[in-house]
Structure 1
Amino acid sequence: MGTTIDIAALDGSGSFATYIAEPEGTPKAAIIVIQEIFGVNPGIRAKADKWAKEGYLALAPDMFWRFAPGLSLDPDVPEEMNQAFDIRTNFDADKGVQDIEAVIRVARKRVGGGKVGIVGYCMGGRMAYLSATRTDVDASVGYYGARIAEAIREAHAIANPLMLHFAGQDGFIPPEQLAIIHAALDDNAHVIIHEYPGVDHGFATETGKRRNDAAAELADSRTRAFFAEHLA
């Protein structure tokens, strides 16, 4: 359904591939889909395609372009899962936010100055949080964002709506980290946090062993309603 465009990095270091899916007719707004550590794989492209079918311009940038361009791994293959964990250590979140800012600017132009949202998964969930604290994105959603607790001091900078989804039995986000997140964000009027009991990290992946249909469908329905409200 989609195609690929190149977007120039703001630091002048090059350009990165971005999967783009366009809706029929005029887009309602733009949604940037931020990958897991497995790259812009078929699951991430499928999520972008779904947003296009909902009437949004959807863009999924290659966040690993500086050191592993074009990465596309399957988390259900143990060797590829291990490869992803090794590769992610090269990722610089500060540079990642700059790249997201570049995509925001391109997205705004493509929707005629309209609104832009972000939805991210795992590593992308943390990047959605950081985008909410460091950019002017209109609305952000993070699914099981690992290491958000490490950046919780930035929470005061959240100026636009943010929704966070967490798995109740997440092997990568222990209860003590969730407690830090709740303590900092529960009273923030911009933030909504949802937890899904009994499911693990990656529950909203499009396909594969990690997916939990009930939790994924509930979280996705909440995300659709959230964007419908805040990107209108």
Structure 2
Amino acid sequence: MKKLIHISTRDGTAPAGLFTPDSGKPAKSAILFFMDAMGPRPSMDEMAQRLADSGYLVLLPDLFYRFGEYGPFSGASFADETSRNQLLKMIGETSVEMTTSDTEAFMNVLQRNGMEGPYGVVGYCMSGRRALTVAARFPAKFAAAASFHGAALASDTPDSPHHLAAEIKARVYVGTASDDGSFPSEQSTRFADAFRRAGADFALESYVGMQHGWTVPDRDGVYDEAGAERHWRRLLQLFEETLG
């Protein structure tokens, strides 16, 4: 069941969906669900609810809230030049540090709903690196962190999450598309090397034949049902083993 809430942050007010199991049973733990680059929309709600129905309290915040009203966008919005330009601006001007700062307010919501942690976090597309960064910045609060078709996880920028490998205490799972220019093979190697050197608990898995965005139902021409179901098995196993 989804409840629309508004979260006060240092920079304003972020709309968010708070999802509970449709069964009515109490959630066993809480998960922070970070959206992909097209923002909160029905397909993101569908994924968040599926996660909630596995027994979790799930918070899906709008990371683009600083821009006020926008869109609406869909999984096909990058194919439209006007929408693509707007999205690229929003992505570029919503820094990872902004999301990290917002996470304190997000965790306060979980705590007010009876969840003290540790939590899980999962990010898609632009938010894969955010999920890993949050796990590093709040190591005592996150027991599991996952990224699917995450972009620039081991880039040349100073804020690339592979630099934070030694700070992450959570178990990490990274699912990558075999055809994804946002996380090419050289970055995959760099990422794995950094996490091995840090002695981190991580798994990096390539989904052969998949394209960037394969997990999201409204990504027409990219979504792959078999690949998406495999992603769900990995994600739910990660959270079951770390959060119960």
Give yes or no for TM over 0.5: yes
In 1, the alpha carbon distance for the partners of 2:204 and 2:127 equals 16
Secondary structure at the residue paired with 2:151?
coil
Q: Which structure features the higher share of strand residues?
A: 2
> What is the deviation of 1:68?
4.4
CA distance 1:109–1:181, shift in 2 (3 Å): same
Secondary structure at the residue paired with 1:49?
helix
- What does residue 224 of structure 2 align with? 212
> What is the deviation of 1:171?
2.5
Secondary structure at the residue paired with 2:179?
coil
> What is the deviation of 1:39?
0.8
Instruction: Report the aligned-residue RMSD.
Output: 1.8
Percent identity between the two aligned chains? 28
Please say if 1:142 is aligned against 2:153: no
In 2, the alpha carbon distance for the partners of 1:112 and 1:60 equals 15
Please say if 1:154 is aligned against 2:152: no
2:16 to 15, 18, 22: 18
Runs ≥4 in structure 1, deviation > 4 angstroms?
68-71
Q: Within 5 Å, which residues of 2 pair with 1:178-189? A: 178-186=188-196, 188-189=199-200
Question: How many residue pairs end up in the alignment?
Answer: 230
The code of the aligned residue for 1:52 comes to A
Secondary structure at the residue paired with 1:229?
helix
CA distance 1:109–1:70, shift in 2 (3 Å): farther
In 1, the alpha carbon distance for the partners of 2:70 and 2:214 equals 24
Q: Within 5 Å, which residues of 2 pair with 1:45-84? A: 45-69=45-69, 71-77=71-77, 78-79=79-80, 80-84=83-87
* Conserved 8 A contact 2:29-2:115: no
> What is the deviation of 1:61?
0.4
Tell me the TM-score normalised to structure 1 length: 0.92
> What is the deviation of 1:142?
0.8
1:199 to 180, 192, 210: 210
In 1, the alpha carbon distance for the partners of 2:103 and 2:204 equals 23
Secondary structure at the residue paired with 1:104?
helix
> What is the deviation of 1:182?
1.4
In 2, the alpha carbon distance for the partners of 1:140 and 1:158 equals 9
> What is the deviation of 1:227?
0.3
CA distance 1:194–1:186, shift in 2 (3 Å): farther
CA distance 1:41–1:54, shift in 2 (3 Å): same
- What does residue 44 of structure 1 align with? 44
* Conserved 8 A contact 2:30-2:115: no
Tell me the TM-score normalised to structure 2 length: 0.87
Q: Structure 1, residues 193-226: CA drift from partner, whole Å, max 9, x if none?
A: 1111121110111233211122211121011011
> What is the deviation of 1:66?
0.9
CA distance 1:51–1:87, shift in 2 (3 Å): same
- What does residue 165 of structure 1 align with? 175
* Conserved 8 A contact 2:153-2:183: no
The code of the aligned residue for 1:106 comes to V
- Name stretches of at least 5 consecutive residues in structure 2 with no aligned partner: none
In 2, the alpha carbon distance for the partners of 1:66 and 1:149 equals 27
